Structure 1
Amino acid sequence: MTSSLVTRERLAVSLLFLLNGFIMGSWATRIPLFAEKLGLQESILGVMILVFGIGSIVMMPVAGSRIARFGSRRVSVVSTILYLPTLLLAVLAPNIPLAAVALFLFGGLTGAMDVAMNANAVETEKAMGRSIMSSCHAFWSLGGLFGAGLGGWLITAAGPLGHVLAVTVIAAILFLIAWPMILADAPHPGEETPAGRLPLTPLPWLIGLVALFSMVPEGAVLDWGALYLGRERGADVVFSGYGYAAFSLTMAIMRFAGDLVRDRFGAVATLRGCGAAAMAGLLIIGFADNNILCLFGFALAGIGISNLVPIAFSAAGNLPGLAPGVGLSVVTTMGYSGILVAPSLIGFIAQHTSLGLVFRGLPLLLLVVLLLSGLARHADRAEDKRAASFKPEPHAPA
């Protein structure tokens, strides 16, 4: 039996995703001002973004262990409270060393909150008896849209400091609304990773490549889209934020529709269609001769990239002969390293070439995704398998 479509707990975890995406979208519009304030060239900015990614990778497993001990609700609450002022700290940092510390904390608490809210979404799914993860990630994209879309306007209207204060206050209000409704799940202090060994079968690693090469372009748009429009294409600060806003809007729409599209066409066809759309969008961004067409490229890239990673994660959790946690641990780690760390390498490339060349080159990664798209067949009928898992007795063979 499934519960009602909307519950207090589902609303709460959706607000957490919205909050996190809103701050990240706001950060996307701040990056050009952040670089200008500290006098950062592309290569040094790339190092700073790498520091952000390292912070996330360090804190993600820490958050995971705390969730096992205290439950996802408590870790979600604590990590969100600590996360709220981190964008403000990064913006106010007066020099490069302090900015690096602030970005490490910003990235670390972004990662911790990400793990906690995803874990709470899983527990909410179990409590509701229905899948909600895709829509949660859609709310993250929607938050990115609001953050990026309002960012340029707020910076112009209220100034750089007024913008970040407004973002912090709005995010705090969202959290205060969500806090009382967050699902209180039980801790699992005895929970351990399966066997503590890496799988020897190549399947999870190949699907991990799909996740990795899908998330690198997403990270490139987040970290470099506004800078590309501003520095290389001469857009003003308001229009520069529209690139990521367009990307987030179409990504959010397609993530809300993702389950229906996949049920209609199958995971393999959906992955191939999305991959082709993402490649076309990135090529338009790199080759467009005017900013309006470039904006269309960002929107098309959002459509394409939207469902690549959800399909990869679903396939990883349904690999034959492999426990779901083992496959997912490989694929999520490889995938998130793409969005958190790989974009920093773009700074070094752009320093010696251009960001336009980078966007023209990113489709090569998605070509690999298309070549491996047949592996998406493992994602088909994941919902049927999950529903069936409720029927056997607890000790039924896997």
Structure 2
Amino acid sequence: MDDLSLAKPKAVTPYVTPERAGVSLLFLMNGFMIGAWAPKIPEFASRLDLSEKSLGLMILTFGLGSITMMPIAGSQIARFGSSRVSKVTAVLLIPLLLLLSLAGNIWTGAVAIFLFGGLLGAMDVAMNANAVATEKGMRRAIMSSCHAFWSLGGLIGSSTGGFLIERIGTMPHAIIATVFAAVTIVFAWRIVLHDAPHPEDHAHAERSRLPRSPLPWLIGIMALFCMIPEGSILDWGALYLRNELSASVTLSGFAFAAFSLTMAVMRFAGDLIRDRFGAVMTLRVCAVIAILGLLLIGLAENVPMAIAGFALAGIGISNIVPIAFSAAGNLPGMAAGVGLSVVTTMGYSGILVAPSGIGFIAEHTGLGNVFIGLSGLLIVVLFLSRLARHADGAHH
């Protein structure tokens, strides 16, 4: 293979291509929509007069939408290609912040949030499949930086959302966010890699909606066991600093901030690291760093030590999911969308399911012990790390 690549030096493309820019814009828009939604939740709950329990059920409906529509997206990618499914789901997603802002009762709210979660999830599968196809075309890793653009979109959406809602109101914010999302998709539309589906992909999708091979399920476990700690840090990090380490309100906010910052930085660097050292070695080092970060959080005696642990966990967790998604999209004899739909559904269910389970366990053991326990999930990821070799199929 090395001889072949030496014989064809033109096969390696520039670091930035229009197709890469296109798929990065898809990730940015998807992350932005989630980020823009987060600061709207309190107003949404008060408008529909939702109790905490009812709001919990609404958020569960969002998750059920994702888990329902992700596998459907996988089968449609095998039929029509990832670019078409990405564009269709993006266009359907654009008006949903407006719909959520207009919902006047619990039933319209539930329908809107189900569709919002479902289309975000379906677009997620499609854009990850498009990133895999772009990696193959470019013969280099791009998945980590795509996920970095998703994180950046979330940061833009959440940081501007609260400010705009407070200054100009809910509906004007929804209009501005919708226009931003629409403009992003207009810029991406012509440059997203157009991947025509292969006949065997279509045949595979028709023959079996759920793959019988254990490979996507095992890679799905890797994604799940990596995203449970991510979801736990998102939901419980600030509370841990506040309640168990007596941090101030300001300092407790630094838990997720430290984690997010190191994760975003490492995702932008992750592709170069992976191209240099290979997916398996990158994933193993990341898993070890994540284990050390979670142990440091759980064993922390003071706030700075815990924040250092959150930062370390961000470095470790940053590139495990992008590598798992690349591997899922490159499994032999399987359409990219089919493998990816399994892995994304399993992975994101970790972020959706973890919060309630963690809360129940923490009541009995304390959050410090929970974070120590979560490091055990990354040990399983370490044992499965050999499966990451399929990610290198994207560009070797």
TM-score, reference length from structure 2: 0.77
Contact 2:125–2:340 at 8 Å: present in 1 too? no
Aligned residues: 377
Q: Name structure 1 gaps, 5 residues minimum.
A: 389-398
Q: Secondary structure at the match of 2:141?
A: coil
Identify the match of residue 383 of structure 2 among 363, 368, 374. Answer: 374
Give the aligned partner of residue 115 of structure 1: 125
Q: CA deviation at 1:2?
A: 1.6
Identify the match of residue 294 of structure 2 among 255, 279, 283. Answer: 279
Identify the match of residue 171 of structure 1 among 150, 160, 181. Answer: 181
Q: Cα–Cα, structure 1 residues 283 and 176, in superposed 2: closer, same or farther, change >3 Å?
A: farther
2: CA distance between counterparts of 1:93 and 1:240?
33
Q: Secondary structure at the match of 2:197?
A: coil
Q: Secondary structure at the match of 1:193?
A: helix
Identify the match of residue 317 of structure 2 among 305, 312, 315. Answer: 305
Contact 1:141–1:249 at 8 Å: present in 2 too? no
Is 1:18 aligned to 2:28, yes or no?
Answer: yes
Q: Cα–Cα, structure 1 residues 338 and 366, in superposed 2: closer, same or farther, change >3 Å?
A: farther
Is 1:7 aligned to 2:17, yes or no?
Answer: yes
Give the aligned partner of residue 268 of structure 2: 256
Contact 1:56–1:108 at 8 Å: present in 2 too? yes
Deviations 1:92-112 (A, max 9, x none): 323322221111100111112
Q: CA deviation at 1:372?
A: 4.3
Contact 2:286–2:319 at 8 Å: present in 1 too? yes
Q: CA deviation at 1:282?
A: 5.7
Q: CA deviation at 1:44?
A: 3.2
Give the aligned partner of residue 192 of structure 2: 182
> Mean alpha-carbon deviation: is it higher for 327-336 or for 261-270?
327-336
2: CA distance between counterparts of 1:336 and 1:85?
24
Deviations 1:10-30 (A, max 9, x none): 111111111111111222333
Aligned letter for 1:75? V
2: CA distance between counterparts of 1:348 and 1:133?
30
Contact 2:128–2:325 at 8 Å: present in 1 too? no
Is 1:162 aligned to 2:172, yes or no?
Answer: yes
Q: CA deviation at 1:129?
A: 3.1
Q: Cα–Cα, structure 1 residues 227 and 272, in superposed 2: closer, same or farther, change >3 Å?
A: closer
Q: How does 1:1-398 map to 2 (within 5 A)?
A: 1-188=11-198, 190=200, 191-193=202-204, 196=208, 198-199=211-212, 205-220=217-232, 224=235, 247-262=259-274, 263-264=276-277, 266-267=281-282, 269-280=284-295, 283=298, 299-313=311-325, 323=332, 325=334, 333=342, 336-340=345-349, 343-344=352-353, 346-347=355-356, 350=359, 361-380=370-389, 382-383=391-392, 385-387=393-395
1: CA distance between counterparts of 2:217 and 2:151?
26
Deviations 1:217-269 (A, max 9, x none): 334455x469969x989959xx9988656544322211122244454592354
Q: Cα–Cα, structure 1 residues 119 and 343, in superposed 2: closer, same or farther, change >3 Å?
A: closer
Considering only aligned residues, what root-mean-square deviation do their CA atoms show, in Å? 4.0
Contact 1:277–1:303 at 8 Å: present in 2 too? no
1: CA distance between counterparts of 2:238 and 2:173?
18
Paired-residue identity, %: 48
2: CA distance between counterparts of 1:386 and 1:182?
17
